[in-house]
Amino acid sequence: MVVREISPGIYAVGAIDWERRLFDALIPLPQGTSYNAYLVQGSEKTALIDTVDPSRELDLITNLVSLGVERIDYLVVNHAEQDHAGTVPMVLELYPGSKVLCSEKCRDLLVRLEGIGAERCEVVGDGAAIPLGGRTLRFLSTPYVHWPETILTYEETSRFLFSCDLFGCHLATSELYCDDFLTIAQYSKRYFAEIMMPFRKSIAKYLDRIGGLPLAGIAPSHGPIYRDPAPVLAAYREWSGDCLSNHVVIPYVSMHGSVRMMVMRLCDTLMGAGVKVHPFDLTVTDIGDLATTLVDAATLVIGTPTVLFGAHPQVIGAAHLANLLRPRARFATVIGSYGWGGNAVDQIKGVLTHLEVEFLDPVMAHGAPDAKVLQDIDRLGMAIRDRHASLGLM
């Protein structure tokens, strides 16, 4: 890992994790990730903003040593999750004079998760400022992006916003900056879907505040830095607003082909009616891709066989995940197949409690879909098209 200056006296000192393929024991990382940390040197004080995942602590320490950093006065902890705060204990040990600046909730989490003495922490409230000499750190309280303790740090002289997870993306790249948002938009949207989507209503409010700051750049703690913040701010406004798209997401499992026939028929019907479809065979699906399509799809259709009197366990898992992510979809239903009986439909409805959706009539086949079931699937497709048209999506 190399140290790179992003503004006079401000250095990127974090680590790139090219090899990591799973995050939070859940989220696939097809392109690795990075844990960005930033050193801000004022004429009087030096601050380190965030640290790195404990698996990469050597990279951070090596970077600090190569910069000749002998003193860290303040260690800003925007967020207590271990991928950013996991090396806080090591930094506090190596720099005994340093003090953690964080929110009150973050202090409590650092005590619990990292075993840090509360006396090493100074709580900073919303709007508090810490002068470093020629530079000033100002803190914005932004609870639930995506933990309750989160703050963002704005450096007033450089006009850089250090936004930690917000605006981040899981992408290992040698590019320090992203100067063309389109090149990373898919990773940014995926990250929003996986991490930020459940909190989109709070995020929409924070965007107004962030948009009002004079900004020379946004430096998140995963992925590249934005020298032009406008495109990522515009994308976040879109993803966290109320704008839906004419898309249907269809996660499904089929053991022996019946549900698959129904899903394929629905895809054909919808495409013929001008509606876009995203079928996901859950046995081979990257759940990050599924989450990404849920950001703005207007409809969710879940396909499941009946297994031991209920929905397939893998379908339950995906429905549970979709429910936790709280996508904006306005319509949902279930299609499926059974051999002798069960309650797959009610079970899935019972999982999707956080969705603010109209449930359309489900379609269940007794065994393989016959002509009547396929007609019902066609009717469902037309009902979805009509709903999308009524929202002006097509």
Ligand X SMILES: Cc1cc2nc3c(=O)[nH]c(=O)nc-3n(C[C@H](O)[C@H](O)[C@H](O)COP(=O)(O)O)c2cc1C
- Residue in 381, 272, 290 with CA at minimum distance from that of residue 331: 381
CA distance to 125, 149, 240, 334, per residue, from 143 (Å): 12, 6, 16, 35
- Residue in 190, 393, 157 with CA at minimum distance from that of residue 290: 190
Nearer to Fe ion, 63 or 78 (CB): 78
What does 308 interact with, of Fe ion, ligand X, none (CB < 5 to 8 A by kind)?
Answer: ligand X
Applying CB under 6 A, among 26, 118, 255, 324 the residue interacting with ligand X is 255
The minimum distance between CB 345 and ligand X, in angstroms, equals 12
**Residue 378 binding Fe ion, by CB under 5 A:** no
What does 129 interact with, of Fe ion, ligand X, none (CB < 5 to 8 A by kind)?
Answer: none
Contacting ligand X within 354-373 (CB under 6 A): 367
What does the alpha-carbon distance between residue 394 and residue 389 come to, in Å, rounded to a whole number?
5
What does the alpha-carbon distance between residue 310 and residue 144 come to, in Å, rounded to a whole number?
34
What does 125 interact with, of ligand X, Fe ion, none (CB < 5 to 8 A by kind)?
Answer: none
**Residue 81 binding Fe ion, by CB under 5 A:** yes
Nearer to ligand X, 166 or 315 (CB): 315
Applying CB under 6 A, among 21, 112, 201, 256 the residue interacting with ligand X is 256
Nearer to ligand X, 193 or 259 (CB): 259
Phi-psi group of 308: left, alpha or beta (phi > 0 → left; psi -120 to 50 → alpha; rest → beta): left
Nearer to Fe ion, 220 or 327 (CB): 220
**Residue 274 binding ligand X, by CB under 6 A:** no
Q: What is the DSSP string of 320-346?
A: HHHHHH-----EEEEEEEESS---HHH
What does the alpha-carbon distance between residue 179 and residue 163 come to, in Å, rounded to a whole number?
17
CA distance to 40, 57, 85, 96, 129, per residue, from 45 (Å): 9, 23, 21, 15, 13
Applying CB under 6 A, among 13, 92, 259, 355 the residue interacting with ligand X is 259
- Residue in 248, 253, 254, 249 with CA at minimum distance from that of residue 282: 253
Q: Is 315 helix (H, G, I), strand (E, B) or coil?
A: helix
CA distance to 15, 34, 186, per residue, from 235 (Å): 26, 21, 11
**Residue 313 binding ligand X, by CB under 6 A:** no
Return the bridge partners of 299, or none: 248, 331
Nearer to ligand X, 223 or 305 (CB): 305
Nearer to Fe ion, 79 or 276 (CB): 79
The minimum distance between CB 364 and ligand X, in angstroms, equals 9
Nearer to Fe ion, 77 or 357 (CB): 77
Contacting Fe ion within 147-176 (CB under 5 A): 165
What does 107 interact with, of Fe ion, ligand X, none (CB < 5 to 8 A by kind)?
Answer: none
Applying CB under 5 A, among 53, 57, 59, 83 the residue interacting with Fe ion is 83
What does the alpha-carbon distance between residue 317 and residue 330 come to, in Å, rounded to a whole number?
21
Using CB under 6 A, count the residues that bind ligand X: 19
**Residue 346 binding ligand X, by CB under 6 A:** no
Pairing of strands 38-41, 46-49: antiparallel
The minimum distance between CB 365 and ligand X, in angstroms, equals 7
Nearer to ligand X, 64 or 267 (CB): 267
What does the alpha-carbon distance between residue 53 and residue 36 come to, in Å, rounded to a whole number?
9
**Residue 307 binding ligand X, by CB under 6 A:** yes
**Cβ count near 309 (within 10 Å):** 12
Nearer to ligand X, 224 or 305 (CB): 305
Q: Using CB under 6 A, which of the segments 14-22, 89-97, 256-264, 379-387 binds ligand X? A: 256-264
**Residue 57 binding Fe ion, by CB under 5 A:** no
Contact 232, 238 (CB under 8 A): no
**Residue 342 binding ligand X, by CB under 6 A:** yes
What does 307 interact with, of Fe ion, ligand X, none (CB < 5 to 8 A by kind)?
Answer: ligand X
What does the alpha-carbon distance between residue 295 and residue 166 come to, in Å, rounded to a whole number?
16
**Residue 114 binding Fe ion, by CB under 5 A:** no
- Residue in 142, 250, 141, 290 with CA at minimum distance from that of residue 202: 142
Q: Given the rule CB under 5 A, which residues bind Fe ion?
A: 81, 83, 165
Q: Which residues bind ligand X (CB under 6 A)?
A: 254-260, 305-309, 337-342, 367
